[in-house]
Amino acid sequence: MQTLIHYFLHFGFPLLIAYVFFRKDWKKAYLILLATMLVDLDHLLADPIFAPNRCSIQFHPLHTWYAMLGYVVLLFLPKIYRIIGVGLLFHMLTDLIDCMMTYGTCPTCLEGSPAYGLLTWLSNLA
């Protein structure tokens, strides 16, 4: 179920975002939102490239707080950059949700994760 939710949030929910917030150009906005998935190219820098219990947040270079700050800046630029910023930030939120779901079923699986402190803090909020 976690995988289904993860991929729905990456591919399905952006369609809703495009239609609701960028209705006039929703098709173009949806394609731009999908293109922000290219942020995952930073996974190619990891060894191994894919690890099922790895949390991307703070692990991959384009998934760090510094990168996310840059994505926030995009929200204040002209429309196309704003759409890119929304897509990148929603991508980070999706990955964070995935990390939280992994942490919820297996906290010890993420003990070495750079986001472990954040995940622990978030789980204590609930």
The pTM of this model reads 0.92
**Terminal alpha carbon distance of the chain:** 21
- Confidence band (pLDDT; 50, 70, 90) for 49? confident
CA-to-CA distance for 83 and 36, rounded, in angstroms?
A: 9
**Domain boundary assignment for the chain:** 2-120
Other beta carbons within 10 angstroms of residue 30's beta carbon come to 20
Place of tokens 């219990």: 53
Which DSSP helix (H) or strand (E) runs through 85?
helix 79-105
What does the pLDDT look like over 102-116, one tens digit per residue?
999 998 999 989 999
Residue 57 contacts residue 92 (beta carbons within 8 Å): yes
